[in-house]
Structure 1
């Protein structure tokens, strides 16, 4: 960042990223040079929530394995059995009348996920609040009633691990959350649980997750982000795990969403060039 700012010279007035995350921008450098910084939050909420539910379904119902089975031409020689390719159902059933979704990170995207999974008959929602966060009991009651849930409850990390049928990781990155999903956490999860990460790759310890999948601590994982990205290929331990679905950070990759993000980025840049406040600036 320092090199870019130096090359641009003193006339650089604004930097705007077409993303919500801004770890790639050195805010200390931009502040020292009085450079405004824009980003594109909110717009991608629905697209990322859609992809999170997609990953939950793919991981639980073994979509990656099933697709590879067809692609590798194994179907013609397959002998059907009643439980072939079975996995835990996201929706409630008479055999499993309750379902609990957990959230590490409970902001706008998480609330949008709650709205979507409520249609599957999800009964309980649990989340781990940020340290020092204000009481959110009124908001939680509103979410519960709006989506017909039995409960929306803040819990500690061990409880989040133990009770989540599906755990959605939607927290920001940084030192405070790095590898918070580690071997100790994963060992507390259920053998039928599914982990979904649409937050930041650094939150989940890849080696620990690969071991959890290989040894059956959890059922499956759906990842849009990975700690080592983009250096993730066929030999990566998570790509090698049959019950792990790995996508190349495409949570916001809906055409309509990206068009809106690009438009806001352009508006941020134009406002900065004109010396005006940015429509959406990082404070």
Structure 2
């Protein structure tokens, strides 16, 4: 019998790696290029599947896993996050889980630096002067529209960047900021259960000297108080929900900039709006928002006067480059193929911690 693989999302040219195999029955959501896969379609078509391909929009929970049946061998998601997957249940059923962590590191790191620059220079405000034809009437003065600078200079040689979460993407951001912008000091707060990474940090510091003078782990209050630019790159879930709350934001500098390329749930949107409006921090650049995709004209961040001028929001596009998305799709397909064939995935989660 042919092994059934259900594909809920657009895989581009990588889909041919599945459809060209004669031993597979590949069932694809027919409108994947344009629309999200309806849950009703997923529940109907996943029955009897050996493999399932999803993106972060599709919840693979007990209902889906039960509908698939005992033959499910592999779930592969075209994302680095896996909050949408019921990992304890999948682990209990010995289902392999594939994801795409490493291939999007550079694209997301580029995006984080972009958002830091956009937020610090308040591009919502400055570009509106052009698009609203207000530039001719704007009264220029030497300090008009001036902003905190990301790079160091001879007359301002110290810049501290902070990271909530210090995995692959955070380290890639640090390399860009150190080598390209001369950032001198870095601090980070790791996961509470993470062991000290003394050897890793020493190696990173050694590789980025003489530009980088210090790299150290700190507690949350210190992270808030000392960061000139703070990059949120922590995973989602209840353990990290609203770690960036009102008390944290009140500790930050009025010239500091917050960037979130991790998960929207880590930052309390209401508290952030208040911080921006009342001037606790300078600006924010967000690739992810807790309420996404319902972030529009009525949402407090892009809509409220006194907030939108200081907050840049883009629609979760950190990994959206041609090269990265193509490689993510290829890896997603390879993962599900190896899983249904009984082989180890090229990039699979270690489910031991969920068993």
TM-score higher than 0.5: yes
Alignment gaps of 5+ in structure 1: none
1:278 is aligned to 345
1: CA distance between counterparts of 2:125 and 2:182?
26
The question of 1:254 aligning with 2:321 is answered: yes
The question of 1:234 aligning with 2:294 is answered: no
Structure 1, 222-231 or 78-87: larger mean CA deviation: 78-87
Alpha-carbon distance change, 271 to 180 in structure 1, aligned in 2, over 3 angstroms: same
Deviation at 1:83?
2.0
TM-score (norm 1): 0.95
1:3 is aligned to 63
Larger radius of gyration: 2
Q: Which of 165, 182, 190 is 1:121 aligned to?
A: 182
Deviation at 1:238?
1.1
Deviations 1:114-157 (A, max 9, x none): 10001211110011132243332332222222112110011111
SS at match of 2:252: coil
Deviation at 1:78?
2.4
1:135 is aligned to 196
1:263 is aligned to 330
Aligned Cα root-mean-square deviation (Å): 1.5
Q: Which of 213, 229, 245 is 1:182 aligned to?
A: 245
SS at match of 1:12: coil
Determine which structure has greater relative contact order: mean sequence separation of CA pairs < 8 Å that are 6+ residues apart, divided by chain length.
Answer: 1
2: CA distance between counterparts of 1:133 and 1:185?
21
Q: How is 1:94-113 mapped onto 2 (pairs within 5 angstroms)? A: 94-113=154-173
The question of 1:84 aligning with 2:144 is answered: yes
The question of 1:18 aligning with 2:78 is answered: yes
Alpha-carbon distance change, 13 to 141 in structure 1, aligned in 2, over 3 angstroms: closer
2: CA distance between counterparts of 1:101 and 1:7?
47
Deviation at 1:179?
0.6
**Size of the alignment, in residue pairs?**
283
TM-score (norm 2): 0.76
2: CA distance between counterparts of 1:157 and 1:28?
29
2:312 is aligned to 245
Q: Which of 194, 210, 217 is 2:257 aligned to?
A: 194
2: CA distance between counterparts of 1:172 and 1:120?
26
Deviations 1:61-83 (A, max 9, x none): 11122122222222233232222
1: CA distance between counterparts of 2:140 and 2:249?
33
Deviation at 1:181?
0.7
